[in-house]
């Protein structure tokens, strides 16, 4: 079973690239972030045509998340428990697997903008709410995968130039602590279960030829509960789509589970 995540930065613009990628990488589930379209504009038929089910929650201009899957899902959730948030950042569904139900949670975590921003306060609050909700999800679903754009680079090795980024959003100690609190629920960063090339990133700024210089961050993650960690046999970043014409600034991350 392969699970993937990709922040597409507008599904309107990136739909052809998503379809192409799925033809080459027929994963069992793909979480998408930053759809930037309303529910009525979601291109369901295009995914149906290539054999994928879809669940989504959209929003005009900003945010929006979806999960595409080979098998239909159950128990779709579009909120973090009781946390009231007009921003559409979470969707979850339960998929079948040989080992039993796998809960897939797709998240588009807040960016935070800057350490002195109200958006940074919102980001940290949002992560607390996510943690509390994931704790209850984990109790209900032992096989839990939480994938998406976390907008947090877990460690300096996930940053192209730690000195330049120090004191900035995505790397600050409170943000890294927020991510560690998710890990502390009993989740593992699938990417770090394996030996990886140095300077592995999942996002590169459009500006300053960030991709060409490999000036990136690893901020897109797949977190796995212990029963899934035990069967995870690979986790890789596919840099290919970042080299496309008119690319997203993020590229997919894929985890392989072998039951």
Nearer to DNA, 194 or 206 (CB): 206
Q: Which of 149, 158, 189, 220 is the catalytic position? A: 149
Q: How far is CA 70 from CA 6, 27, 29, 52, 234, in A?
A: 16, 8, 7, 5, 20
Out of 139, 155, 183, 208, the only residue in the binding site for DNA (CB under 7 A) is 208
Residue 250 annotated to the active site: yes
Q: Report if residue 199 touches DNA, rule: CB under 7 A.
A: no
Q: Report if residue 82 touches DNA, rule: CB under 7 A.
A: no
As a whole number of angstroms, the distance between CA 143 and CA 137 comes to 10
Site string for DNA, 134-163 (x = CB under 7 A): -----------------x------------
As a whole number of angstroms, the distance between CA 253 and CA 70 comes to 18
Answer for the pair 250, 6: CB distance below 8 angstroms, yes or no: yes
Please report how close the Cβ of residue 256 comes to DNA at its closest, in angstroms. 27
DSSP H or E stretch at residue 74: strand 74-77
Please report how close the Cβ of residue 19 comes to DNA at its closest, in angstroms. 16
* Beta partners for residue 189, in sequence order: 223
Please report how close the Cβ of residue 65 comes to DNA at its closest, in angstroms. 13
As a whole number of angstroms, the distance between CA 182 and CA 73 comes to 24
Answer for the pair 104, 70: CB distance below 8 angstroms, yes or no: no
Q: Is 214 annotated for ligand binding?
A: no
Q: Report if residue 245 touches DNA, rule: CB under 7 A.
A: no
Q: Report if residue 241 touches DNA, rule: CB under 7 A.
A: no
Q: What proportions of the chain, in percent to the nearest 5, are helix, strand and coil?
A: 30, 25, 40
* Contact stretch for DNA (CB under 7 A) within 20-28, 95-103, 108-116, 174-182: 108-116
Answer for the pair 149, 33: CB distance below 8 angstroms, yes or no: yes
Answer for the pair 257, 233: CB distance below 8 angstroms, yes or no: yes
Q: Is 34 annotated for ligand binding?
A: yes
* Contact stretch for DNA (CB under 7 A) within 91-99, 111-119, 138-146, 193-201: 111-119
Can you say which residues are annotated as belonging to the binding site?
7, 34, 149, 151, 249-250
Q: Name the residues that contact DNA, by CB under 7 A.
A: 9-10, 12-13, 36-37, 60-62, 110-111, 113, 119, 151, 206-208, 246
Catalytic residue annotation:
108, 149, 250
């Amino acid at each position: 079973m392969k699970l993937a995540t990709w922040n597409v930065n507008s599904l309107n613009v990136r739909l052809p690239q998503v379809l192409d990628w799925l033809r080459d990488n027929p994963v069992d589930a793909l979480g998408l972030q930053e759809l930037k379209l309303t529910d009525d504009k979601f291109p369901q038929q295009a995914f149906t045509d290539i054999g994928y089910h879809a669940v989504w929650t959209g929003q005009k201009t900003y945010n929006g998340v979806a999960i595409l899957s080979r098998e239909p899902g159950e128990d779709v959730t579009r909120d973090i428990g009781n946390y009231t948030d007009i921003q559409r950042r979470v969707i979850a569904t339960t998929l079948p697997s040989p080992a039993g139900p796998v809960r897939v949670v797709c998240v588009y975590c807040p960016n935070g903008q800057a350490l002195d921003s109200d958006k940074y306060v919102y980001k940290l609050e949002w992560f607390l709410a996510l943690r509390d909700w994931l704790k209850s999800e984990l109790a209900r679903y032992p096989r839990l995968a939480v994938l998406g754009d976390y907008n947090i680079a877990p460690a300096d090795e996930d940053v192209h130039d730690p000195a330049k980024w120090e004191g900035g959003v995505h790397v600050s100690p409170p943000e890294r602590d927020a991510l560690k609190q998710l890990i502390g629920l009993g989740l593992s960063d699938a990417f770090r279960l394996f030996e990886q090339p140095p300077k592995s990133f999942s996002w590169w700024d459009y500006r300053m030829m960030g991709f060409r210089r490999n000036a990136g961050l690893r901020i897109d993650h797949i977190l796995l509960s212990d029963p899934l960690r035990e069967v995870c046999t690979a986790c890789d970043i596919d840099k290919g789509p970042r080299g496309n014409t008119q690319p997203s600034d993020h590229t997919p991350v894929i985890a392989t589970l072998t039951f």
